[in-house]
Chains A and B, each alone.
Chain A
Amino acid sequence: MAAVQDGQMELDAEKETKPEILSDGTSNLSGNTASGTLSSSPLTAAPAGGAPKMEDQQTLIAVLQFLKRNKLTDSVEILRREAGLGEDQEDSQATDGSGGGKGDVDGGDANSLLSRVSITSAAAPQSMPVKRADDQPDVSVVLSAYSQQGDPSLYQVYYSGLKNFIESVLDCHRAELSQLFYPLFVHMYLELVYNNHENEAKAFFEKFSGDQECYYQDDLRVLCGLTKKEHLKGNEVLLDFRTSRFVLRISRDSYQLLKRHLQERHNNQIWNIIQEHLYIDIFDGMPRSKSQIDSMSGSLAGEGRRELNKAKVFHGLLKEPEIEVPLDDEDDEAENEEGKPKKKKTKKDSLGSKSKKQDPNAPQQNRIPLPELKDSDKLDKIMYMKESTKRIRLGPENLPSICFYTLLNAYQGLTAVDFTDDSSLLAGGFADSTVRVWSVTPKKLRKVKSAADLNMIDKESDDVLERIMDEKTASESKILYGHSGPVYGVSFSPDRNYLLSSSEDGTVRLWSLLTFTCLVGYKGHNYPVWDTQFSPFGYYFVSGGHDRVARLWATDHYQPLRIFAGHLADVTCTCTRFHPNSNYVATGSTDRTIRLWDVLNGNCVRIFTGHKGPIHSLAFSPNGKFLASGSTDGRVLLWDIGHGLMIGELKGHTDTIYSLKFSRDGEILASGSMDNTVRLWNSMKAFDEVETDDFTATTGHIHLPDNSQELLLGTYHSKSTPVTHLHFTRRNLLLAAGAYNSQ
């Protein structure tokens, strides 16, 4: 059993953000000095020549202090010599930072340093205005980017000027350029708010909020309430909106049009925002149509950057371990009893073909160190194979039967459900902090005997595993106490020996299903943990929570192995999923994006945008090629992982989709929702119909066929039970679970 080294823990995204913040800060400073000139490059703002000396100095001082703090003394010396600054000058500037116009803002920021994470203040004297806590994004810095003053009354003019321009351009460009509205609107509004132009901000909002796409309504509602600078500082979502650049995909022609227009009009305000807060992903070729844009937009951070989605993803499955089937004889007997010797042959064939062929897209077998198979795992694998030979081949003509596990009297509130892979156990997480485990087979749940009793048993006997169980404790269900807040996520380990639960109390707990006690509490998330899931091979698990990061853990490490940071909002419920080959983790978020992370290096390798509401369910197809996601908007979107493209949209649900599951062969996708229905979709057809030629792959332009109704195979109502979880048994019987809602 090889473990990933601890030291490899990386804070990639956070590191990523740090230089960005700094560059934001500096570019802002220089941008301020350079007001009045347009820099040609969209990304670097070159300081202009005739800037006031005072502010230039400030910039230099800021840089000096940064260097100093990082103990780059030589550089400090060189810079000081070159800039001709005296040491005392710097100090005086630093201490009475409230001198000039710029210092004013900075000083104010220093006083109002406010961040939800504690600052390592010991090393950071508060008196230094440009001093920043390096480790985390500093609010004051983030916000100070807004400090550039423009005439607040002109904002409306600027915006409507741009609006008029966009509305007057050719149709083909209009749709693309219209993407600018929302990010510009938000940034301009925030700028007004930040600079204390409350009334102007309100008027601006009143006038232009109606123009925004309807799927931004939720964001607008948040914005609308925000009218004070002080409010801005506590709002993490908006801080993130600021720190990350909103990504727009615009064709080169459209971009040129826009650029020319802004330069002609000297519309610096807007140009500055575009430069600083927007990332324009320019592509060559035909501008996209409105529907193409709409299908991809909607997330809090714009679309995913194209080059980001270009990274190679090994979405193939790992080679099945070769297992000699020692029980074949036994199996034969069983088969013979039924008088079907034929079946055995087909089984062998299927097994053989599966294990021999190596998927070209598959990652190397040892790319991620995986735990070695134990004997019991092998036995389970054999069971699995046996079962899979009896699997029902599903299809449009052959829909699965549905078994509904209704939790009755769940007054305390059912929040999460999970089945074991062999469908023998059911775990429920409840809002009253308990986790309950039920056996859904006649086999009762038993604890292991106490240590004293275990000493007494004969360890050499064949049925030692049976002997260690305490018959007296046999019961249909067990309750696990330990959390101190609602349990939002539960997950069984593949070997059925462990159960993970994540809770509002910020911990993930590992429970033993042999002793029914808590083994470990993993602390790391500082905020509610919305979900957790075991890797398909056990050992690793991933968790995601309100702190907007997903963490990868190993059961024998009390600290996370990876932290996947990048989401702008919570990593949501039932929304952290392992790829079947365990090399990737997908997370869905309230920021309406789905990210795929590489477990090996912690990189974000895919960003999928297109959902218009928080994402609440994810499912990988069994072959690892596709991903399905469901959100509060009642839509299921299908994604091609290899190409990084959206390939389907399934409309039909009327409420949040809380569970998605592919059948064991991947032909059917089942979705369960708050609207008390289970819907079955023809996923095979959905995947087949999409033409993923190279062109679409490179440009990322997709034409989605609107064929939800054709793909919908059935809608199945429960009486009054929202569908919380779906599970296909190994023989393709669909199990659904939910708590009966008497209201």
Chain B
Amino acid sequence: HQSSTGREERRFAEVPRESIKLMAESTGVELSEEVAALLAEDVCYRLREATQNSSQFMRHAKRRKLSVEDFNRALRWSNTETVCGYGAQDALPFRPLKEGELFFVEDREINLVELALATNIPKGCAETMVRVHVSYLDGKGNLEPQGTVPTAVQSLSEDLLKYYQQITRAILGEDPHLMKVKSVSHDLDQLNRLLHMVKSLVQNPYLYLGSYVRSLVSSVMYCILEPLAASINPLNDHWTLRDYAALLLSHIFWTHGDLVSGLYHQILLSLQKVLSDPVRPLCSHYGAVVGLHALGWKAVERVLYPHLPAYWANLQAVLDDYSVSNAQVKADGHKVYGAILVAVERLLKMKALSLTLAAEGSGAGLPGTTTGAVGFRENSPGLSPPPEPLSEPPLGIASHLQAGGAGCQWEEWTPVSLPAMYCELYSFFGDSLAVRFSTDPPLGGAPAPGPCQPLEGRKEPASSAPNLENTRKMPQLTASMNISPRQDGSPRMEPQPPSLAATVPGRSLSRSSSSSSVSRSRSSSSRPGRSTSQSRDIFPKSRFPLPQAGPPAFSFIIGGRQMGRRCQGRRFQTSFTPTPPLTTLPPRAYAHKLPVIGRVSKPVRRWTCSHYSLHLPL
């Protein structure tokens, strides 16, 4: 009977006559069409009747779920044979078989031998017992053990309450201690889960977070900055957590920054405080750097850059210490170094870009334009070119981060001139900076002498700037950029088509030696281009001609000098494939497996659409 109840028609399950015929055949009876139809109808009725009767047994047993047992009782009382073999407590999976329109109860074979020889003999049910507890004294109180909700939640409406319960159950599982972030600093998985929850909260367009943003931010900041208990074990990948948290921070800031005034400065302050505190462990510093980086190049310029000289000494000391006991710290130091490098690099690029755009664009320079190497966030900031993705967040995250940078409200800030900045930074990073910063590919690939490269790199934007002598109205355009990502709605994360990415000038600046970062930065850099094209007409017009107009292209050889231990006297030949036309797909390029400094925990993810490659004839 049961297996035949199939099709849902009107309000009842009806047994089609085909089923009846089939069942009859299985017992060797041939039924005519009419008989089958009549029988089908009767079977339906009897089934329904039995079900109705069985529901009485369910109700009297004070259950909500109708059991096979109930049904059998109903059958027994109506003098019908009972259905045997379905008494198991577990739900019976009822499966359809597409081809034959057949429905059946899945009945797995049980290996009796296995069952008989099983070593894990079930202990049997625990004994039924009565436990008493005073639930409510004088009609109130003692709520806690009854699993009630916190007071703050009780004022919520019913829907929200359900939402709350769902969320808490999903995140906290059975562990009520998770309510506090700090209590789980030993458990990276839990922290990760919390961060993901924060992300989904932030992304939920139907939630107005209001003042809760502040508490969210503080949780995230905790993940970024605190020397977590989990960091003690070098095997724990707390770096990824920090990266992710930083990313999230920028995202929160971008989407909800307007909800809390002064949040940005507060964050900057706390980051700065951590950075300037030499007592803090390197992982905290790392967090501060990635945090700054995530907040946009302006933040880097404002906080990290001025601090660099002071901080550099400490870092240098760590890195120069070769003792075995220092190995772990040194590895951490490398991480920090890499993070700084990435941040600084983008700072330079963005600055350069802003100058370029200011130069090229008919309107003005765009200090606020934040395209560029945001995607580097994920890169292992190795000291030599080969970066390695530590984790694979969805591309969209990179674009959030990117957009987050764009969304920063920025006050008037007198920037250090680009050349001066570069010079200063170069004094710290030397060639590795040069490698990263020097980008745009030469068409011919004629190498230029190393020493002059930095000059050229600086010259290029500098030279183009005067070419198009336009006034820079930074504030106005900055404002427009601030608006544009928001108009775009929530930054959803479809990967950008490569052709679109190629149109963006930021791309040329954000070249990285790693194929992975290339594609990532492409997707991120394409974002502002697209969004602005939607929001402002004039902007893309002023920008799109740039690649065709004459992409800055040069090649060079780097003679590393300063941070010599890693790239001493090596000659780098950097050659890039030509910028592809807008519509055609770029030639397939090769991704090199590059030497890696730092942790090697995750496999290098190859991005198939890498257009550029860096040849390193060593």
Contacts and interface: CB of A to CB of B under 8 A. Distances in A.
Interface of A: 221-222, 224-228, 230-231, 234-235, 398-415, 426, 428, 430-431, 436, 438, 440, 477, 485-486, 488, 504, 527-528, 530, 546, 570, 572-573, 590, 614, 616, 632, 656, 658, 674, 680, 713-714, 716-719, 722, 724, 736-737
Contacts of B64: 674
Contacts of A717: 146-148
Contact of B129 (A227, A407, A485, A632): A407
A428 B128 CA distance: 10
A228 B41 contact: yes
Contacts of A436: 128
Given A440-B130, A719-B146, A530 B60 contact: yes
A409 B52 contact: no
Given A224-B11, A225-B49, A616-B59, A399 B138 contact: yes
Contacts of B131: 405-406, 408
Contacts of A431: 61, 69
A405 B139 contact: no
Contacts of B148: 717
**From DSSP, what is the main secondary structure of chain B's interface residues?**
mixed
B59 A656 contact: yes
Contacts of B134: 401-404
B525 to A, nearest CB: 52
Contacts of B98: none
B108 interface: no
A737 B128 CA distance: 14
Nearest to A413: B61
Nearest to B51: A225
A222 B52 contact: yes
A431 B73 CA distance: 12
Given A409-B128, A415-B62, A527-B77, A228 B146 contact: no
A527 B132 CA distance: 35
Nearest to A438: B130
Range for the number of chain B residues in contact with chain A:
35 or more
B485 to A, nearest CB: 46
Contacts of A718: 135, 146
A431 B176 CA distance: 35
Contacts of A719: 146-147
Highest count of chain B CB atoms <10 Å: which of A225, A573, A737: A225
Contacts of B138: 398-401
Highest count of chain A CB atoms <10 Å: which of B133, B136, B147: B136
Contacts of B146: 717-719
A415 B61 CA distance: 5
Contacts of A488: 60-61
Nearest to A415: B61
Contact of A401 (B44, B59, B137): B137
Given A415-B60, A528-B77, A407 B130 contact: yes
Contact of A399 (B49, B77, B139): B139
Contacts of A235: 49
Nearest to A614: B59
B60 A402 contact: no
Contacts of A674: 62, 64
B528 to A, nearest CB: 52
B555 to A, nearest CB: 69
Contacts of A713: 139
Nearest to A659: B62
Contacts of A408: 126, 128-131
Nearest to A530: B60
Contacts of B52: 222
B128 A546 contact: no
B127 interface: yes
Given A401-B136, A405-B132, A716-B139, 12 more contacts: A228-B41, A398-B138, A398-B139, A401-B138, A402-B135, A402-B136, A409-B128, A413-B63, A572-B60, A590-B56, A674-B62, A717-B148
26 contacts: A227-B45, A228-B42, A228-B45, A230-B42, A398-B139, A399-B140, A401-B134, A401-B136, A401-B139, A402-B136, A404-B132, A404-B133, A404-B134, A409-B126, A412-B128, A415-B61, A431-B61, A477-B129, A572-B60, A680-B139, A714-B136, A716-B135, A719-B147, A724-B62, A736-B135, A737-B130
A167 to B, nearest CB: 27
B163 interface: no
B135 A409 contact: no
Contacts of A226: 45
A398 B136 CA distance: 12
Contacts of B128: 407-412, 428, 430, 436
B324 interface: no
**What 4 A-B pairs are tightest by C-beta distance, nearest first?**
A399-B139, A402-B136, A409-B126, A225-B48
Contact of B62 (A230, A414, A570, A680): A414
B12 interface: yes
B13 to A, nearest CB: 11
B133 A403 contact: yes
A231 B45 contact: yes
A573 B49 contact: no
A530 B57 CA distance: 9
Contact of B135 (A231, A399, A403, A407): A403
B125 interface: yes
B34 to A, nearest CB: 15
Nearest to B60: A573
